Amino acid sequence: MKIFLDSTNIEEIREINKLGIIDGITTNPSLIAKSGKGFNQILKSICKEVKGPVSAEVTAESFENMLSEAKILSKISKNIVIKLPLTFNGLKACKHLTKKNYKTNVTLCFTVPQAILAAKAGATYISPFIGRLDDIGQNGVNLIRDIKKVFSNYTNFKTKILAASVRSIEHVTEVAKAGADISTIPPKIFHQLYKHELTDKGLKIFLEDWEKSKQKI
């Protein structure tokens, strides 16, 4: 499974990217607004830091304006992926941009039929929002499982499943078990992934024992 960071915080992205295991970045209009910086500046610095795909979302609702915004966003860097909402116009724009060789990420997916339509429109990625389904009493991970099952029934569906709205360690575990191609993870959750109290406890014991042994490496 690939790991993307779901963030516009360049300092946090830079720090985690030092590990060399981050495959890409996702952003959305809310995260751009939260960064307090201009979208151009923030996306440019992210694309300079991370060589993998960086999703940048259109905010237009009409087909024509989505295409104009896609053109502007794609000029920021060659690793920009155009993020489009799962609407009638978003699907139409996805099909159009796919024909022109743009990479696309169809976002705000909450059902299997929505994912099928995005795949039919040639989306590079489909983003099911699992945490937001959990918020309304449904099971977000089940959606990933179902989309995976349906996509595997048809060899012509090449769209990658990008689990989004990931809120916990358990979400990361479960979407990996369900076969998500990518999980996009907020930095705060990422830093929880490598931690375990027994790791800390075990390390403390090892170091104390080593100290007692009076040896050196």
Active site residues: 83
Q: Which stretch binds ligand G3P (CB under 6 A): 63-71, 77-85, 95-103, 162-170?
A: 162-170
Looking at residues 75 to 104 of the shown chain, list those that interact with ligand G3P (rule: CB under 6 A): none
Given the complex with ligand G3P, which of 63 and 189 has the nearer CB atom? 189
C-beta neighbour count of 32 within 10 angstroms: 18
Task: Tell me how many degrees the CA angle 41-45-51 measures, rounded to the nearest 5.
Answer: 140
Please name which of 98, 32, 93 lies closest in space to residue 68, comparing C-alpha atoms.
Answer: 93
Determine the Cα–Cα distance for residues 87 and 100; give it in Å rounded to an integer: 20
Given the complex with ligand G3P, which of 131 and 187 has the nearer CB atom? 131
Contact 133, 154 (CB under 8 A): no
- Binding ligand G3P (rule: CB under 6 A), the pick from 129, 151, 171, 180 is 129
132 scored as a contact of ligand G3P (CB under 6 A): yes
Minimum Å gap between C-beta 164 and ligand G3P is: 3
Determine the Cα–Cα distance for residues 12 and 77; give it in Å rounded to an integer: 20
For residue 125, give the 3-state DSSP assignment.
Answer: strand
Given the complex with ligand G3P, which of 26 and 74 has the nearer CB atom? 26
179 scored as a contact of ligand G3P (CB under 6 A): no
Determine the Cα–Cα distance for residues 174 and 168; give it in Å rounded to an integer: 10
Q: Which stretch binds ligand G3P (CB under 6 A): 72-80, 126-134, 136-144, 208-216?
A: 126-134
Looking at residues 7 to 46 of the shown chain, list those that interact with ligand G3P (rule: CB under 6 A): 26, 28
Minimum Å gap between C-beta 41 and ligand G3P is: 20
184 scored as a contact of ligand G3P (CB under 6 A): yes
Around 160, how many Cα atoms within 13 Å sit in the side-chain half-sphere? 16
Contact 15, 9 (CB under 8 A): no
Q: Are strands 104-109 and 2-6 parallel, antiparallel or unpaired?
A: unpaired
Minimum Å gap between C-beta 135 and ligand G3P is: 8
Under the rule (CB under 6 A), what is the footprint of ligand G3P?
Answer: 6, 26, 28, 129, 131-132, 164-165, 167, 184
